[in-house]
Structure 1
Amino acid sequence: MDPMASVQSGSAHARLLQLLATGDAPRKPHNLPCFAERLSRLFGLGDTMSLDAATAFRSRQPGMNQEAVFEQLTKELSNIRRALRRKIGRYGEEVEAGDSVTAETYLNAWLVLQRKVAASSRQLRDKVRKAMKDHNQDLARLAELDSVFDHTMASYTSQCFSHISKVLEQRFHSLQPSSDSPPETGHTPDDWLHRYCEDSQNLLLAELDVRLEPVLGLLEACHNEVNHSP
Structure 2
Amino acid sequence: MAKAPYRPPVPGPAFIRLLAGFADGPLPAASPDMSDRLSQWVDWNRAVALSRALDGRLPALAEDAPVFDSAEQAECARVRTVLAGSITAAAEGRRATTSDDYAPHRQHCMAVQRSMQASTGRLRGRLRDMLGHAGAPMARLAEVDAVMEQTLSPREQVLLGTVPTLLGLHFERLRAAASPAPDDSDNAQALPAPAHEGWLARFHKDMQDVLLAELDVRFQPIEGLLAALRPR
Please say whether Structure 1 and Structure 2 have the same fold, judged by a TM-score greater than 0.5: yes
CA contact (8 A) 1:111 1:165 kept: yes
Alpha carbons of 1:96 and 1:222: their partners in 2 closer, same or farther (altered >3 Å)?
A: closer
Residues of 2 paired with 1:45 and 1:215: CA distance?
Answer: 26
Alignment of 1:89-104 (within 5 A): 89-92=88-91, 101-104=100-103
Q: Please say if 1:189 is aligned against 2:191.
A: no
Q: Please say if 1:78 is aligned against 2:77.
A: yes
Deviation of 1:61 (Å)? 3.2
Where does residue 68 of structure 2 map in the other structure?
A: 69
Aligned positions, number: 210
Length-normalised TM-score, structure 1: 0.81
Residues of 2 paired with 1:121 and 1:40: CA distance?
Answer: 25
Alpha carbons of 1:122 and 1:64: their partners in 2 closer, same or farther (altered >3 Å)?
A: closer
Q: Please say if 1:204 is aligned against 2:205.
A: no
Residues of 1 paired with 2:214 and 2:161: CA distance?
Answer: 11
Q: Deviations over 1:164-217 (max 9, x none)?
A: 111100011111143737547x93532221111110000000000010011001
Q: SS at 2:23's partner residue?
A: coil
CA contact (8 A) 1:58 1:140 kept: yes
Where does residue 109 of structure 1 map in the other structure?
A: 108
What amino acid sits opposite 2:28 in the alignment?
Answer: K
Structure 1 residue ranges without an equivalent (≥5): 1-12
Q: Answer 1 or 2: higher relative contact order, Cα 8 Å, separation at least 6.
A: 1
Residues of 2 paired with 1:62 and 1:132: CA distance?
Answer: 9
Alpha carbons of 1:15 and 1:99: their partners in 2 closer, same or farther (altered >3 Å)?
A: closer
Deviation of 1:90 (Å)? 1.6
Length-normalised TM-score, structure 2: 0.81
Residues of 2 paired with 1:166 and 1:89: CA distance?
Answer: 20
Q: Percent identity?
A: 25
Where does residue 19 of structure 2 map in the other structure?
A: 20
What amino acid sits opposite 2:226 in the alignment?
Answer: L
Q: Deviations over 1:122-156 (max 9, x none)?
A: 11011100111122111110010011111111111
Q: CA RMSD in A?
A: 2.6
CA contact (8 A) 2:62 2:129 kept: no
CA contact (8 A) 1:16 1:207 kept: yes
Residues of 2 paired with 1:62 and 1:205: CA distance?
Answer: 35
Structure 2 residue ranges without an equivalent (≥5): 1-11, 181-187
> Structure 1 segments of 4 or more deviating over 4 A?
62-66, 92-100, 181-184
Deviation of 1:33 (Å)? 2.7
What amino acid sits opposite 1:164 in the alignment?
Answer: V
What amino acid sits opposite 2:221 in the alignment?
Answer: P
Q: SS at 2:165's partner residue?
A: helix
Residues of 2 paired with 1:57 and 1:175: CA distance?
Answer: 56
Residues of 1 paired with 2:72 and 2:173: CA distance?
Answer: 42
What amino acid sits opposite 1:135 in the alignment?
Answer: A
CA contact (8 A) 1:91 1:197 kept: no
What amino acid sits opposite 2:75 in the alignment?
Answer: E
